[in-house]
Amino acid sequence: MNVQKAKELIRMTDFNRSVLPDSVRTNGATPNPWWANAVVYQIYPRSFQDSNGDGIGDIKGITSRLDYLAGLGVDVLWLSPVYKSPQDDNGYDISDYQDIDPLFGTMEDMDELLAEAHKRGLKIVMDLVVNHTSDEHAWFQASRDKNDPHADWYWWRPAKPGHEPGTPGAEPNQWGSYFGGSAWEYDPKRGEYFFHQYSKKQPDLNWENPEVRKAVYKMMNWWMDRGIDGFRMDVITQISKVVDENGKLPGEEGGLIADEPVGPEGYSSPFPFCSDGPRVDEFLAEMRREVFEGRDGYMNVGEAPGVTPARNEHITDPANGELDMMFQFNHVGIDQSGSKWDTVPFKVANLRRELAEQQNAVGKVGWASLFFCNHDQPRVVSRWGDDSSEANRVASAKAFALLLHMHRGTPYVYQGEELGMTNAHFTSLDQYRDLEALNAYKQRVEEAKVQSPESMMAALALIGRDNARTPMQWDASKFAGFTDENAAVEPWISVNPNHATVNADCQVDDPDSVYAFYRQLIALRHNNPVVAAGTWHLIDVNDDYVYAFVRKLGDAALLTVVNLSGKRVAIPSDSAALTESGVSEPRIVVSTHGATHAVVSLANKELSAWEGIVVEL
């Protein structure tokens, strides 16, 4: 596709919704960005829709479902990676940035998806992984030769002095990978080790090398010129590493920076030295200048491990020219203690504390990404809600949806979240496909013996990534409509058995469904400036069950009050005082249980299980 054609496609992306006037302040930019009242929908292509019966979702499958997505009302589709990849980490290990993996289709399929999405007013944002590549990428293969121009494109280090290369203890330092084992892999061809924060097939790029950055920006411009509408950049805040004045990493022999202590699994963590490093601002500002400056209608989002809310404010402040918004993770770690796999019960107070910090940080400038679910997180209805019965599943799915979508920022809906899809409830290890889960079980249970098999399986069932990766549930047929029920190949991962009752087919025309409720929330953000841009103020800060806050814009104000428990509870004092004079149905903006029920609840000063209400003040 030529550049002119791409520009024509971009111009076709007009939204059927109001645009916030510049008199309404959003992130501090003038004019207001187009995404200020938008909603993003994440697609995990492998699990969304299989069009050819091979058991794996594909690009043509996505195209075939665009009318469903347009009907939901979302504005932007974020695609997890579809680039060429060995699929060691389900596509987050890219071997060719400028080609489509045959699993997902062809570049022609991608062009068709762009064109058809833009016709429907849907923008396409592509997932991009540039902290690391696949070890099968041409850049990495070239770097294995010390005399090649690419020799310094990755983090290569010799064995520790006095040790035989490739033997235990010869690694350059004691860092462990987040996916288990050492973060260093020995390469016999080069005779050195390369660093990988994630899988050993995902070597980290060396962003200290300006040639690496030039190559990345060139590739990004190629995609933008082709007609995509921006990038969601995976672990982008890990591209800058802490090094001493001689370029040595912490813990390296002869280095000036001490490493962290070794943990119970036998390794120290690279996280403190590889997250929000010293040159992150410089690199992100350079990227914006080289790729996005002079373009209109795009969105660039960064996944931000290790970034504090205060830093989020700086990075997303338009004046600093870095990112439009970022994903922060403190709020999705509230049920974990120490290791990811040591889980603790959900508490409303912990969620309120973390989200409040994020909201307050961007109260003046910058922007927030709002999410509970994505391809790396379990289903919120199973994690913090209640999927033990159909009534509780629907009610708790709506409660968490209302809570999230009434915050200030850009909401992200992960595929199936709008249906209240649940965790997989796998019971045996052989049902899992995720590299992280399988490696964690091996390391923690079998090797380090720091967790029992029963405890680990319970943790995987609660927070394992495969919970979000079971096929999209379109209908009640054998494979949930994800692939043809007569297909010779079963889906790459099991379909959730509850697809017979939890599916799009039985919800789209049901006005009381989770799907219908999401449509209502999305339309509210499009059309109500208070929801899109109003200030955010937390109230009832000490309640154990109710999460409440007020949004204000000029003279308009909305109270959101949500019971995040499965029992009837009293409306706390601040919220009760704001509705003391009584509330009529026309003032109920949205409610999980309906306007009539909401009026009674407010009058009685109590909320039913999983009840959420938004009322005009």
Query: Can you tell me the distance from the alpha carbon of 357 to that of 258, in angstroms, rounded to the nearest whole number?
Result: 31
The torsion of the CA quartet 605, 606, 611, 616, rounded to 10 degrees, works out to: 0
Indicate the pairing of strand 410-414 with strand 369-370: parallel
Sequence-ordered strand ranges (E) for 177-273:
184-187, 192-195, 230-234
**DSSP codes joined into one string, 6-29:** HHHHHHT---SS----TTS-SSS-
Residue 303 annotated as catalytic: yes
Rounded Cα distance between 216 and 304, Å, is 19
Tell me how far apart the alpha carbons of residues 365 and 56 are, in angstroms, rounded to a whole number: 42
CA distances for 366 relative to 314, 358, 369, 425, angstroms: 7, 11, 10, 38
List Cβ neighbours of 10 (8 Å cut-off, separation of 6 or more). 118, 227, 229, 297
Catalytic residue among 192, 234, 317, 543: 234
Q: CA nearest 562: which of 334, 355, 343, 328?
A: 355
Write out the DSSP string of 310-376: HHHHHHH-GGG-S-SEEE--GGGGTTEESEEEEE----HHHHHHHHHHHHHHTSSSS--EE-S--TT
Distance CA 402, CA 48 (A): 24
CA distance 613 to 134: 47
Kindly give the pairing relationship between strand 230-234 and strand 299-303: parallel
**Catalytic, out of 303, 313, 335, 436:** 303
Counting Cβ atoms within 10 Å, is residue 70 exposed (0-12), middle (13-18) or buried (19+)?
A: middle
- Separation CA 146–CA 156 (nearest Å): 10
**Which string of DSSP letters, residue by residue, matches 473-502?**
--SSSTTTTTS-TT-SS--SSPPPGGGGTS
Residues paired with 442 in a beta bridge: none
The sign of the torsion formed by the CA atoms of 28, 33, 38, 41 equals: negative
Would you call 494 exposed, middle or buried from its count of C-beta atoms within 10 A (0-12, 13-18, 19+)?
A: middle
Return d(Cα 439, Cα 432) in angstroms, integer. 11
How far is the C-alpha of 49 from the C-alpha of 70, rounded, in Å?
Answer: 16
- Do residues 421 and 377 lie in contact, with contact meaning Cβ atoms separated by under 8 Å? no
Do 60 and 66 meet the contact criterion of CB atoms below 8 Å apart?
Answer: no
Copy the structure tokens of residue 374. 């994505």
Q: Return the bridge partners of 301, or none.
A: 232, 325
> Please, which residues have CB within 8 angstroms of residue 227's CB and are 6 or more apart in sequence?
1, 5, 6, 7, 9, 10, 111, 114, 118
293 is catalytic: no
- Going by the DSSP 8-state scheme, the letter that residue 121 receives in this structure is T
Give the residue numbers marked as catalytic.
234, 303
